[in-house]
Amino acid sequence: MTLKLFIAGTDTNVGKTYISAGILSAFNAQSWSTLGIKPIASGGNEDTLIHQQTASIKLPQHEITAFAFEPPIAPHLAAQFIGRTLSVKQLNLQSRHALQHPADVSVIEGCGGWYVPLNSTETMADFVIANQLNVILVVGVRLGCINHSLLTFRAMQQDKVNILGWIANCIDPHMKNKNENIATLKEWLPIPCLGVVEHGMRPETVIDVRKIVECVSLEC
C-alpha cells in the first residue's frame, strides 16, 4: 500500500510541521519508507529541513519545497512581491518529482489553513483536490479551536476530499478546560481522532499509525 497524506491545519502556527514529523517518525518506526514534502514554505527553510531530516528518503531541499519565500506571510502575497504568480498547475509541475517519487508514505504538509490563497482564484485546497490526497486535520488546541475545527471540517466536506481523521496538538500549555475542549471536538467531529499530542510530547508516541492505514483502506 502507498499512502499520500496531506497535513492540513485549522490555522497557521498550529504545529503542522511538528505533527508531520511525528507521522513520518511513527511510520519510520514501523519500517515503512517515508518521504516528507512541503510544496510551499514561507518564512525560511526550517520546515523543509525538518522534512528532509525526518523522512527515510532524503530528497534535495529544492525538490521537497518547490516554492520557498523568505517573508513569513501568505504565499500569494510573498509571490507577488517578487513578481511571481502561484498556481496549482505550477505547483504540480515543480513538485512532480517529489509527488511521484516511490515511497510507502508521502507526507505533504500544507501552508497556513485550508483555504490559504495561491492566487486570485485558487487555494491550497485546489491542490489537494487535483491530486486526490488523503487529508489529516491538525487542530491547534487553544481558545477558538472548536469553531476553527468545525468550519475547516465543513469546508473539507464541501470540497469532497477524503478526511482520514484529526490530531489534537495542545499548543497552549496554559489553556483552561483543555480536556473539555478535546472532548467536545471528539463529539462534534464525525471522523477518528488519530492522537492527542500533549504540550512537549513527541507526536510519534501517540499517533495511531494503524488507524491511519485502516482509514485509507476504508476511505473514512
* 178 a catalytic residue: no
- How far, in Å, CA of 142 to CA of 140, rounded? 6
CB distance 5 to 108 below 8 Å: yes
- In 17-162, DSSP assigns E strands to 34-37, 40-42, 67-69, 105-113, 134-140
Q: Which three cell numbers stand for residue 86?
A: 502561484
CA-angle at 124, arms to 78 and 42, nearest 5°: 30
Catalytic one among 38, 176, 178, 186? 38
- How far, in Å, CA of 58 to CA of 77, rounded? 30
CA-angle at 159, arms to 157 and 165, nearest 5°: 45
Catalytic residues: 38
